[in-house]
Structure 1
């Protein structure tokens, strides 16, 4: 595989939510950032180009560096357990996974092109946007798999609702809805879970400060679901809000290398404080734009919202994290993220009701048609049912049915015969009865005649037999006629 640059890793502070590894800050209604950026990092520190950035909830910053000999960008995603997924941009293409403390990588998902962006959702599915192949593919990272599924696009460039043209940045929310920065179509497409047709939520007709989108590249969402987009060829970052879209940074349109300028930005990410980091691709640098307006609150609990599962967050100056989570019964962990209750939302399947009988034990009250310790087994209603006339029993939800053979039988157990079948059976039985009577009559006549002949000396057919024999003899004794011809002169 092509060599990959060393990660630039900077530890800043505090973790947020264990279920998500990236930051989605909660802002006030109209947040603003200082347009004069702070220089953060540059590709020339190691002779490598910068195309992507990832910031975890503990503010560890990962920057994949594209070495001098590779021509395609490397994308990166880091999970909550610190597994690192990297797209290798050179042929042969692959997505490699680096687990915590590993000394080498393993291939995670087969791909047939370079991934411009990677993402891992809350159900451990890995997504890759194949920019040059006009599609987004996915595969589970649990277990081993050699297959991928196309989740958006067809593999051909196009602008219809089921097609993409040069997709770049992607984002998957908690509802497994997919957001795609569709660069060449100058739009943002939203694909709801299980849907192959996308909905255009931002397109080239959306004028933002007199200028429509021109190749959206990077995309992310804040805690309220508002979009933040790197508008590549407009050299800016734009965002949605309660009053529609507006420009965030790079609003002057300047493409120079000043602290105000951006040129062809490709990606963006937030730290836990709401500061905005933008990959300024053309200048091989990362610009940090400081949040200037307050968040919805200014305490650790307000900023980070770290406590999960309805736990209460208490600000604490004595805690190293700046807060303490007061967990509800059955939950524990720094953010109350570990659910140790016997009854969870997924304990009893198929609408079963879970009842806790102790701190560690439970019992599932299954709905009709299901059984088993977790209501996972469908009840077999055919177990004690016998269908008549060769009918086949099929178990249904909460019921069963007997599938009768042909149209000759019907009823709950195939016990009802059709009128046509009854008529045919009656005719058949009648013919059989007549044949039996005829055969019995013949046999009785023969027996009676034998009794009369041998017991009483009465042979009722002896005269007829004698007459028949005589006729036969006469025919046999008949003198042949010989004709002799005499010649007369």
Structure 2
């Protein structure tokens, strides 16, 4: 669909959600709630302090998919503050291992990770290194992926079949973070839909904005928030983290500092709140420092409610 075809008052598909969340996972099973991913079987994956949890559809007890509970570390079976997770069509799992400065790949069912980007334990700004990689997004064929290199204020591109972690190329931003359209500022969330648009949508956590960037271009353009200005009205953001696009290029942004999820319809910089109240809390209608957002096959919405150590599900109406 062309960018700009829809207005805020007319959301394609009449997408609305119940504002009362259902707790899917809580502190009785997990110790934190960061990134999340839902596969084609509606299996939920959630990143925790040193592990990735797996929750099968229509079940209530999560199991550890990779990592070692209560034992963060840097060897091939360990993780340290993982931020994002993705499972490809072959069953391979990818995890952004934030404090180990690497992206780990787990061949279908394996507990031993292979480093496909970065160098374990070594932060840096050279093209073969990462510095606190945050979230990532993959192309439709699972041939390559883009990762937000948070500490370097840039987005990097890598092949998924790498075994050395040093085949990266710079596609957005650079070493110094600021709020111009030629830079990124603490890039957190990232998403794109290559079948519809070839541009990346990147959330600037420290810049309180969303920027749209063609990979490899020298600059992007802002599509939500005011660069460098934190706020809580319908046009401002405060530390945006996770971001997700739907097939109409509607944009769902986890507005972490405002404890809410904002929906920006295509070509509109005024949002509506679809989860949370804007005030931190632990009731069924509130969120506290949310981080990630995902949708299942029925477009039910899932949010990692980090401050409350839970994952909330909001049913599509």
TM-score by length of 2: 0.66
**Unaligned ranges ≥5, structure 2:** 9-15, 68-77, 269-297, 299-317
Structure 1 residue aligned with 2:51: 94
2:123 aligned with 1:157, yes or no?
yes
Structure 1 residue aligned with 2:43: 83
Structure 1 residue aligned with 2:191: 220
Please point out which of 205, 221, 244 is paired with 1:232.
205
Query: What secondary structure does 1:132 align onto?
Result: helix
Query: What secondary structure does 1:189 align onto?
Result: strand
Deviation at 1:199?
0.2
Cα distance in 1 for partners of 2:55, 2:129 equals 32
2:62 aligned with 1:105, yes or no?
yes
CA RMSD, 1 decimal: 3.6
Please point out which of 79, 87, 103 is paired with 1:120.
87
Structure 2 residue aligned with 1:400: none
| Residue deviations 1:248-302 (CA, integer Å, cap 9, x gap) | 1003543111111111111101233321110011111111112258xxxxxxxxx
Change (3 A) 1:262 1:191: same
Matched-pair contact (CA < 8 Å) for 1:41–1:286:
no
Matched-pair contact (CA < 8 Å) for 2:116–2:160:
no
Matched-pair contact (CA < 8 Å) for 1:208–1:246:
no
Of structures 1 and 2, the larger Rg is shown by 1
2:163 aligned with 1:198, yes or no?
no
Cα distance in 1 for partners of 2:187, 2:66 equals 26
Change (3 A) 1:180 1:210: closer
| Residue deviations 1:77-126 (CA, integer Å, cap 9, x gap) | 1101111112223xxx3212112223322221223222211111222211
Cα distance in 1 for partners of 2:250, 2:86 equals 21
Matching of residues 123-202 of structure 1 within 5 Å = 123-140=90-107, 142=108, 144-155=109-120, 156-173=122-139, 174-195=141-162, 196-202=166-172
Structure 2 residue aligned with 1:258: 233
Structure 2 residue aligned with 1:422: none
Cα distance in 1 for partners of 2:238, 2:254 equals 9
Higher helix share: 1
Matched-pair contact (CA < 8 Å) for 1:226–1:239:
yes
Cα distance in 1 for partners of 2:131, 2:24 equals 25
Change (3 A) 1:160 1:241: closer
Deviation at 1:161?
1.2
| Residue deviations 1:153-177 (CA, integer Å, cap 9, x gap) | 1121111111100100111211420
Change (3 A) 1:177 1:32: farther
Query: What secondary structure does 2:257 align onto?
Result: helix
Cα distance in 1 for partners of 2:262, 2:90 equals 32
Deviation at 1:203?
2.0
Greater length-normalized contact order (CA 8 Å, ≥ 6 residues apart): 2
Cα distance in 2 for partners of 1:70, 1:85 equals 12
**Unaligned ranges ≥5, structure 1:** 1-26, 47-61, 294-320, 322-489
Matched-pair contact (CA < 8 Å) for 1:254–1:260:
no
Change (3 A) 1:278 1:63: farther
Query: What secondary structure does 2:206 align onto?
Result: helix
Cα distance in 1 for partners of 2:188, 2:248 equals 23
Higher strand share: 2
Query: What secondary structure does 2:151 align onto?
Result: helix
Matching of residues 59-458 of structure 1 within 5 Å = 72-89=32-49, 93-110=50-67, 111-140=78-107, 142=108, 144-155=109-120, 156-173=122-139, 174-195=141-162, 196-204=166-174, 209=180, 212-222=183-193, 223=195, 224-241=197-214, 245-251=220-226, 253-292=228-267
Query: What secondary structure does 1:122 align onto?
Result: coil
| Residue deviations 1:7-37 (CA, integer Å, cap 9, x gap) | xxxxxxxxxxxxxxxxxxxx42667876xxx
| Residue deviations 1:420-446 (CA, integer Å, cap 9, x gap) | xxxxxxxxxxxxxxxxxxxxxxxxxxx
Query: What secondary structure does 1:184 align onto?
Result: helix
Change (3 A) 1:253 1:31: farther
Structure 1 residue aligned with 2:289: none
Cα distance in 1 for partners of 2:57, 2:220 equals 40
Change (3 A) 1:165 1:252: closer
Query: What secondary structure does 2:233 align onto?
Result: coil
